[in-house]
Structure formats: C-alpha cells, structure tokens
Structure 1
C-alpha cells in the first residue's frame, strides 16, 4: 500500500457533546471518460455530470443530503424517503440495537441495481450496479463506541463480488491516510488492506471538520478492489458544510465508456444576423442556377440536397454554431449571494487550515453560519414566490412543470442497460438496434401527428434546419422551395433524405425502464418535410370539410371541437328527453 503525504492535525472526534447535531458521511460515485468531466455550475464549484450512486453513513434523524441536491437536484428533502421522488432508488440497512439511522445506498433510477445480502453483525450494506460492467458498492459504518475485529471485516469483504468499492466512516486513525497518529483500529484496517491487496483511495486529505473543537481528521475511508482502482479518482468536496463530514467524490473514468455524455454543436441563435443570412442565401441561390434548371428532372434527391446545403452554408457564415455541454439543472433558489457566501466560507477554511489560530477559527465559524443563513433564506424566499405564482387559474401543464422542477424529476431517461428476455444490451449501438427492432413494428403516422403538435421551432433533425431558418428565407429561396414541393407532388416521388428520422424513445407510463418493449418512439423528421406535410394536411382538411365528407357529428380531428362538445350535446339530449317525459 503506497503511503500518501502525511498531514499532521488533531483528529479526536467529539463524543461528549450532547448538543452536537447528528452527522453523516457521504460518498458520491460518478462516471465519466478517461478525463474528469464536469458540467455547468450549480454552486461556486464545477460539479460532476452524472451521479450514479450516493452512499450515506449514520443517517440519524434528518439526513444531511443538501449537497446531493446541490449536485443534481433542486430541493432539500427532510427525510430519506424523499430519495425516490428526486430520481434515486434507495437501499437502506438499520441496526435495531443502535439509535443511529443505519446506512443507505441511493442509486439513480436509470441505473439497474440489485441488493447484495451481507451476513454481518456490523452496520453494512452492499448494492450491485450495472454500468459497462457490474460494480459492487459497499457502505459500512464502524462507530467509535463499538469495537470490531480483523475477521469481521474480512468476512464482509469475502462476500463482495469483484470489482467493488467499499466506503464509509471507519472511525479508524492511521497516518497512512492523513491522521496524526495510528490507533489499534487503524492498524487493523491497514493490515486488511495489505493482506487482501486492496487499494486505499484516500490521498491524505482531511474528510471531517470538528467545528466545535476546530480539529480535522481523515476517518472516512474509500477502498477499492485492484481491478477497478486504476479507473477511479478521489476528491473531498469541502464546500459542503451542513455536516461535520465532507462528501467524497469518486469518479469512474473509462477510456471508451458507452455512456459518456457528449457535447453537441447547435446553432447560435442568441444574436443571429438574419439580414446577412438572407443576403447570403439569396446570393447562393443566384450563383446556383443549376438548381432552378434541374427542377424539371426526376432526381429530386440532388435538388433537395443542394437546397439544404445552401441554407446550412449561409447559416454557418452568418450565425455559426456553439458547443453545448450536457447540462445539469441548477437549483432554482441558488443566487449570487449563495456563491459569495460559499466562496468566503472556503476562503476562511483554507486560511484556518494553514494558520490553526483561534481568530481564524472564529472567522471560519462565522463564515459557515452566515452561508447557512443565506442559503436557508434563499430557499424560503423561493418557496414563497413559487406558492404565490400558483393560482387556481394556473394551467395544469405549467403547474406540473413547476412541481417537477422542484422535485428534480427527469423523465424518459434511457437506462444504462436494456433487456429483451434474458439478453442484456449495454452499448449505445446495441440499445439503438434493439429499440429499432421493436419500433419497426409500430406505426410512424401516430408519431408524426404527435410531433406536429409539439412546440419545436428551434428543433432540428439530421438536416440541421430549424423552422426559424425557413421563416427567414428570402423570396427567391421561398419560390424555389415551392417549386420543389410542386415537383414532389407532380412527380409523385419523395426525397430520400426526408424519409430519415431521429427516433427518441419515450418510456410508457408505469413500465419497466430496463425493458426494450416499455418504450414508444417519437420521430424527429426534417422541418422541410414537416412543412410540406402540413401544407398537404391543411388542403386535405379544407377539401374534406367543404365537400361535406366529414360529418358534423364528428368531433375528433376537428378544429375548435373536442369531446366536451360531444358530451354537451349528449347531456342536452338527456335533459330534453327527461323534460318531454
């Protein structure tokens, strides 16, 4: 076992203060590529893109999980049962012989997981999660007041399928992981690490700050089996201050991870130069006379391809693209004051780590108290504003949008694995092929109809042309587009590029997200194709309406009519019948 730099600091835990709040240790496991990847700011630090499993130790009374919420969700729950409402599946183990709340493992709902039974008299829990491979997450709590033996820990490790990550509050001190002395408990853990060839992820950084005594310690350990440890990074997040234990972030780095979030290039529509765009399109249209001359040919694919390339070329020159990183939804109550408060707290913490003087410790406690007060105030004010905004006249869609925003619920997340019968698919390509095989049996007409009703003015398919580009085309381009539409109609041929679509799988209500058959497809087709279909649909409706082909008693697919109209007529007929009788 390699020995990190030793950090000397008093680290005796305060076990006598009856007013001391309950504490917990948090380990946050994430996944990324071979380079650590972080997303948009939700606090003063860059935070990880995707949380996979969150491990809590000694959850007593009110669990301190605000940092988890700051990472990926929007509310601060008051009880661990809220975990399922914010997108996590909970596994919890309690000890009836102790007053503590036990240990728990929270796994993202889109990650397939299953509990692993552990036979032990210690407080321990293990869960198996399915990523690119199965990984075991074990959470253990060894209270200071209870002794443990070498064999007890060994028995637990023997029950863990490899590869595994074992984390927890060990309350064991050893200079190898940053404590200022080694106690008998620390010697036991050190011997276990050496005998079992386990990797210690701790690098000597403190993991706990006893604010009442002003001391630091490193009693929260992270262990891993040798096969997975080269792919793990370890970091303590000191900006968390609602517990005396700081969260530990463990990131899994995979060189070729099939689940790595990717960056996307989107049109920069914040400040577009539509005049320049229109002028460039007009110029390119005049330079490509071949396009107009070929409108009488049968090769519609070439015409459509050339017309599309003119629009995209003009957009590149006048609008450009911007790199869009995968976003994490920030907490809605976060403000500049919160950022400044966190910044001042961390500044005071770093200063006190260097000086260890009483005045700096007092300043640290003041900064900590102030930041707590500011954040609490921001939460309260946000809730007040939210409640005031909700009225009896608030549309149902808007109300649910706000509720989901608060709860941090993400819908239609494609899980990391999909199954058909006994077969499991892991890579993105395998899952796409499995979904395509199922979707092939579905009707695409319903998908298109649903898509037309969506508000998608800036959405694009593979041609990268949003509706807003079409609206800004010059008269010359609109004329060419109409000629293309007429040519398609006259020649009774449809462009091959317009037959392609991007398929988005949507999870059906109350279905298992890991089953391929639980999804229904939504198709994103080219906007030019959708425009043509809308024109045809509008003219078809006009013809059917004015030839009295559609009955007056039909309410479906009729403008300004709904099932309410049918129910109204039925109700009136019933009342009239009773009145006549």
Structure 2
C-alpha cells in the first residue's frame, strides 16, 4: 500500500478544503514527498502502527539523512519520537556594505596622528590639471582616512534585541519544565494543573519584565534631548518598515534579498530615473540680425568669476584636523576650478523607506533615500550656501516660495491662505477656490538638461553651473536591502534624495512654473 493510500485510510472523509485534505492532495500530486522508513511509530497495549511520517519537498529532502525511530521513553500517548539529520546550515547574513563604527571607544589622538602621517605622504608639488588628477587626489585622502579609522576606531557590534529576564521569570521557567516532565511521566490530573498554573505564572512574569524594560527605556530617554541618536534608534526599532518577505511586481516574484534588490533596481532605472525625451529646443535659433548685437550687451551678461573656497568655510564643518582641512580645501578648489566631481562622490547606495498608508507590494510605495559620500556632501553644503546667497541677493525665487528656504516654513503659506479667505468673505463676499498640487516623485523626475538650461538662463556664476552640471552628470546608484546590493545603474533624471543641494535645485527647477498665471490670481 502506498503512502497516499495509507494516509487516506487514516484520515478518512477528508475534503480538500481542510488542512489534511490539502496535504493529501499535495502528496498525490508529488509536491510533497515522504522519507521512507518502515518502522512503526505508535505502540500502545500491544498495538503497533505507522502513524507518523517525515514529509517535505525538494530540494530539502535530499539533505535529510539518518532517519531513526526511537522507543517511547515513558511517553503515555504511545507515539515514538523520530529524529533525522539535515546536512545544511543556515546561510549567514551578509555583512553591511557600510562601515559601522563605535565612536564612543575611538582613540581620537591616535586617529589624528595616523591621519597626519598618511596625509603628509602626498607630494604637494604635483599639479592637479585634469579630472584624473582630481580622482587620484580624492582617493588618496579617502584611503588615508580609512587607514587611520582602521587603526584607531573599533567597529561596533550589533546590540542584542532581547530584554533582560528577572530572577522570578528564570525560576518560573525551570518550574514549568519540571511540571511538564512530571505530568508527562505520571499522567495525573494534579500534575497537569500544576503545569498549566506554572505556565500562567510565567506568562504574567514575562509580561511584567517587558513592561519594566520599556519603563526603564522611556525613563532613560526622558533625560536625553529629543533629537539625540538614542531616541531615534529606539523609534526605528519599534517602527520597522521592512520589505515583505515575498515581493511581486510586473509579474516578477522576488523572495531573496538579492532578487528584491534587483527588482527595485530595474524599477527605478526604467520607470523613475529614466531620461526625458528632448522635444523642445534649448533656445531660439540664432538669426543674422541677432548676431550683430553690440559687444557691450554681450559683456553685460558676463557672470562673476570663480571664487576660491577658504579654509574657514571648510573649518566650519570639520574641526581639529588641520592637515585634513588643508587637503580638502585644495581638493574642493580644484573641483570648482575644473568643474569635475570625483566619481565616487556621485555613487550612492539607495535605501528604501515605506511611505505611510501605501501598498507594500508596489515599488512606488517606497521612498528612495541616497546614502552619499560625506566629503561630497561637505562641498555640496558650501555650494548650497553660496547658491542661496546668490538667489536671495538677486530675488530670483518666487516671493511666496516657503519650502527649503531659511527663515520661512509652510506655516507662512497656511496663514496667507487663511488671511486671503477671510478677506474675500468679509469684504468682497466672493467665492474662491483653492487648487493644490501634489507632485509625484518630485525630486526623482527633475529633467537634467532642463535644469542646466535654467541655471544658465539665470546667469548664475559659471563655476557653480559647471559644478552642478558635473553633479547631475553620470550619477550611479545601487539598491541596498538587508545588506545586499543590487547591480549598479545610471540615474538619467532626478536629484538624489539625501543631498543638501537637491531641495534647492528642485525649487529652482519649478520657480517659473507659475509665470503664466494671471496677476489677479493668488499663488
């Protein structure tokens, strides 16, 4: 008699809609197989039968060996335990592509000493006349810092996520195990009641332990500032936004972290950061009449010359590392002079953050946040400050643009809207309508060539335009999911979310969107 028939005889009258019926169907169709072992697994009152099987599917079954049936060992239910070996280990979790350091244990004096010894090896007589020279110089500074870090700053170890058990809970765990073994050995009802009583006591004790640990945690957070790292690490711990174990998109199912990372990479490369067709000319065609424009009109359009970055600007962001400051200042000035940003600074690891109240099964429900080079972001902050000063000095941005501007916030436009509505109701008694726009994937859909055209049209300093052109050009990224990186892909549109420059570039890109609205319409 085959295994299917034997199971059917035991589980008679099973239908496909219940668990045993589905199990029988899977056995019959060959999706689940049985490990062959003819030994009887049930023995009671001289009755023996084969009631227990080891079921599984391929490829796991091929790793199962040494199947054994053991004596009942005093069990009162008559079932014999089955044991087997699985010749396979759990796949270790990949290490993080990003370095995690324990700065509390850092030896900063040793770090500074090692860094200075490395940086002094650079030949200052070498000239930086080409993009390749900038790449080499940038790599030298990065390697010097990594060597000093390796010697002076230990890596951080992952913290345990389990909470501490009280002595009462530990004693109750031992008591529950003893009560269970005694009940299984004797089968007496009083031992059964003692086991369930100890189980209830343990559940209550564990609940109290969790409450005590949460109270201690909240008490420690109350003594910290609300923007401290410890507070936000705790928030992220309790509000994890992990991607579902199995993810399906465009008829493609991804289960492993690598498959999910590749699926997101394909989505962002083809649907989000894809290039925009150039259907409009950048400018009107030049005519012979326009070519005769006087030279004084041409010279009036000259932009300010390139302004060197000072050591004070770099010192503002990095302190107590004088030699490093000098090297970064020199590198930054050469980047602005030649209009070339090192390739490593334009390579990002993108992590995904779930948007609130969105479908977890769709890639558009996740916000891509770019993890960028720290040195690149340092120079971006300096350029942002200079660019903002230029925009404010020339009054380029719209008057009521409140977002991403110092000294303004969204509350400004909310109050402005409220005041306008009150005036219309109180004085003019007119009807008014409000039109609100929600721009989909705003940062990610910025048209690179269109933004560069607008930067030139605004007559911004040439060195800033050259820097921003290099900033947008040839950017690459990889999707990071659970320490696994996808393939690298090119960003043909958009500005990276996570860059200090991105919000400012976006409001420049959209600054002229309201130019055609009639003057009597508030906007």
1:485 matched residue in structure 2? 332
In the alignment, does 2:136 pair up with 1:302? yes
Give ranges in structure 1 of 5+ residues lacking alignment.
1-118, 127-138, 141-151, 167-173, 208-213, 224-228, 233-252, 446-469
Q: How many residues align structurally?
A: 360
1:439 aligns with 2:439: no
Tell me by how many angstroms 1:443 deviates.
4.4
Match of 2:110 among 265, 268, 276: 276
2:31 corresponds in structure 1 to 162
**Matched residues in 2 for 1:218 and 1:505: separation?**
53
Q: Is the 8 A contact 2:106 2:152 kept in 1?
A: yes
Question: For residue 51 of structure 2, what is the aligned residue in structure 1?
Answer: 189
Match among 477, 498, 501 for residue 348 of structure 2: 501
How far did 1:163 drift?
4.0
SS at match of 1:549: coil
TM-score by length of 1: 0.48
Distance 1:164 1:124, change over 3 A: farther
Structure 1 residue 541 corresponds to structure 2 residue 375: no
1:294–1:303: 8 Å Cα contact kept in structure 2? Answer: no
Q: Counterparts of 1:17-96 in structure 2 under 5 Å?
A: none
2:250 maps to 1:420 = yes
Q: In the alignment, is residue 410 of structure 1 matched against residue 245 of structure 2?
A: no
Are the structure 2 counterparts of residues 290 and 205 from structure 1 closer, same or farther at C-alpha, using a change threshold of 3 Å? farther
Unaligned runs of 5+ in 2: 1-10, 276-316, 429-523
Q: State whether residues 277 and 319 of structure 1, in contact with CA within 8 Å, keep that contact through their aligned partners in structure 2.
A: yes
* Distance of aligned partners of 1:497 and 1:409 in 2 relative to their CA distance in 1, 3 Å threshold: closer
Q: What TM-score do the two structures reach when normalised by structure 2?
A: 0.53
Match of 1:528 in 2: 375
Alignment of 1:341-352 (within 5 A): 341=171, 344-345=174-175, 348=178
Distance 2:193 2:344 in 1: 68
Alpha-carbon distance in structure 2 between the residues aligned to 1:268 and 1:385: 23
Query: Is 1:374–2:205 an aligned residue pair?
Result: yes
CA distance in 2, matches of 1:202, 1:269: 52
Q: Distance in 1 between matches of 2:80 and 2:258?
A: 39
User: Which of the pair is proportionally richer in strand?
Assistant: 1
Change (3 A) 1:575 1:540: same
Preserved CA contact (<8 Å) 1:285 1:310: yes
Aligned to 1:475: 322
Between stretches 424-433 and 483-492, larger displacement belongs to 424-433
Equivalent-residue separation in structure 1 for 2:118 and 2:165 (angstroms): 47
What secondary structure does 1:502 align onto? strand
What is the Cα-based RMSD across aligned positions, in Å? 5.5
Whether the 8 Å CA contact 1:274–1:472 is kept in 2: the answer is no
Separation in 2 of the partners of 1:472 and 1:222? 66
Inter-partner Cα distance in structure 2 for 1:206 and 1:383: 44
Distance 2:318 2:79 in 1: 62
Alpha-carbon distance between aligned partners in 2 of 1:577 and 1:504, rounded to the nearest angstrom? 47
Superposition pairs of residues 249-288 of structure 1, within 5 angstroms: 253=88, 261-264=93-96, 266-286=100-120, 288=121
SS at match of 2:349: strand
Report the alpha carbon displacement of residue 436 of structure 1 after superposing the two structures with TM.
2.1
1:143-182 residue pairs with structure 2 within 5 A? 155-156=24-25, 158-159=27-28, 162-163=31-32, 181=44
